Amino acid sequence: MIDMVSARKKMELFPSACRGAGLKVTPQRVAVYGMLLKTDSHPSAEEVYHVIRAAIPSISLGTVYKILDTLHNQGFLRRVATSRQTARYDARVEPHHHTLCEQCGKIQDVDVALEPELVHLEKSTEDFRVKIPEVVFHGTCGDCAQPAPVVH
C-alpha cells in the first residue's frame, strides 16, 4: 500500500534534493519520479515509458532509461533485479525485501526483519562489505496459485 502522505512529501523535496545532488530539475525527471512514487507495482523501464509518454509524448525510451539510471545512482530509486533479466524500479528506498512471482513476474514489497547472523558472510567473501542486505523471495503469488475457473 502506497503511503500517499510520504509520497507527497518526497515529491515536494525532490527539486531541492536534485539540486543538492547536482542534477537539473527537468519535467521528465519529475514525471518519472512522481510516477514511481505513486505505484507499488515495481515497473520496468518500458512500463514507466508507456505511462510517462501519455503526459510527455516527446519523451524517448532512452531518456527514461537514463533518468532511471541517474535516479538509481543518486539513491532516489532502487533497482530490483528479477530472474527475467529485466530490471524493475522501486521508489521506496528504505530497507525492505520483495516477493517475486515466478509465473507472472509480479513483485511486492515485504517487510521482514533479518537477524544479523543471516547477513554474515562466509570467509571466502569476508572482504565484501554489504551495502544493502536485500532478500527476494521467489515463489508463486496468490493470483497465479488460484486454480483456473472451470468453463462449461
pLDDT of residue 124: 56
CB 102 within 8 A of CB 138: yes
For 109, the enclosing helix (H) or strand (E) is: strand 107-110
pLDDT of residue 125: 63
Q: What range does the domain containing 122 cover?
A: 95-145
From 81, 101, 82, 80, select the one nearest 92 (Cα to Cα): 80
From 69, 75, 76, 119, select the one nearest 97 (Cα to Cα): 119
Structural domain ending residue among the three candidates 31, 46, 80: 80
CB 98 within 8 A of CB 108: yes
Structural domain ending residue among the three candidates 80, 103, 134: 80
* Cα–Cα distance for residue pair 73/29, rounded to 1 Å: 14
On whether both 111 and 50 belong to a single domain, the answer is no
pLDDT of residue 122: 59
- Set of cell numbers at residue 97: 525485501
Domain with residue 118: its CATH number is: 3.30.1490.190
pLDDT of residue 88: 94
Rounded to two decimals, the pTM is: 0.82
pLDDT of residue 121: 60
pLDDT of residue 3: 82
Number of domain units in the chain: 2
On whether both 31 and 72 belong to a single domain, the answer is yes
On whether both 39 and 104 belong to a single domain, the answer is no
pLDDT of residue 128: 75
Would you write out the chain's pLDDT as a tens digit for each of its 152 residues? 678 888 999 999 999 999 999 999 999 999 999 999 999 999 999 999 999 999 999 999 999 999 999 999 999 999 987 777 789 999 998 888 899 998 888 999 998 877 766 666 655 566 777 777 788 888 999 999 887 677 76
From 132, 22, 15, select the one nearest 79 (Cα to Cα): 132
Question: Rounded to 5 degrees, what are φ and ψ at 34?
Answer: -60, -40
